[in-house]
A and B are shown apart, each in its own frame.
Chain A
Amino acid sequence: EVQLVESGGGLVQPGGSLRLSCAASGFTFSGYGMNWVRQAPGKGLEWVSYISSTGSTIYYADSVKGRFTISRDNAKNSLYLQMNSLRAEDTAVYYCARDNYDFWSGYRYWGQGTLVTVSS
């Protein structure tokens, strides 16, 4: 059974940093691209970042470019999101999501999400 479990969320002050983790199991982690998607309270979905199976290709949403860094450790079956210079508008539930078959085929599996709150 495919499982994605996020951790690392919490309350952080504006300008602070946080590192999210996503532990994957039930599939060959090194064979799939991975993504972070967030959802602000009461709002819609917003794609944050993508990393290819080998880590060689990375994309970011303009809203987080230069502040967030996505990475993965295939040996540990883990995905990460380093978030720096956090702003109030980064407050959201952050989901990690696995590509369905490939880059174009959607996100088939999602974690339960971890809440990040940026507030003083």
Chain B
Amino acid sequence: QSVLTQPPSASGTPGQRVTISCSGSSSNIGSHTVNWYQQLPGTAPKLLIYGNGQRPSGVPDRFSGSKSGTSASLAISGLQSEDEADYYCAAWDDSLNGLLFGGGTKLTVL
């Protein structure tokens, strides 16, 4: 079964660095680039990272992404209260011939 696995929750204090993992397989992350989305409560998702580690214009450089093998990570440095949101990884899956989203990680800023 093709899935992208994220921890359901993560937390940190202001100024801290947090990372969110996304684990997949050879048919998705192992073969394709990973994109990350941020979804603030009650709003549409926002593209945060594309192509494993590229930031769209307007996304602060506090956000960074990386990929190794069949896993990817999103790192947020200098955590701010406005970073409290749900974060999703996504990658194409060759077995499904479709896009997979991770289950999402709810980030709480303590």
Q: Is the beta-carbon distance between A45 and B32 smaller than 8 angstroms?
A: no
* Chain B 79-110 per-residue mask, 1 if CB under 8 angstroms from chain A, else 0: 00000001010101000111111111000000
- With known contacts A62-B98, A95-B45, A108-B47, A45–B56 Cβ distance under 8 A: no
**A-B contacts at CB below 8 angstroms, number:** 68
Q: Is there an interface contact between B92 and A104, defined as CB atoms closer than 8 Å?
A: yes
**Number of contact residues on B: which range applies?**
20 to 34
Whether B33 sits at the interface, judged by CB under 8 Å, is yes
A50 touches B99 (CB 8 A): yes
Binding site secondary structure of chain B: strand
List the A side residues contacting B104 at CB < 8 Å: 44-45
- Give the contacting residue for B100; candidates A47, A97, A106; CB below 8 A: A47
Distance (whole angstroms) from the CB of B36 to the closest CB of chain A:
8
Contacts of B88 in A (CB 8 A): 44-45
Task: Please tell me if B73 contacts chain A, counting CB pairs below 8 Å.
Answer: no
B45 adjacent to A45 (CB under 8 Å): yes
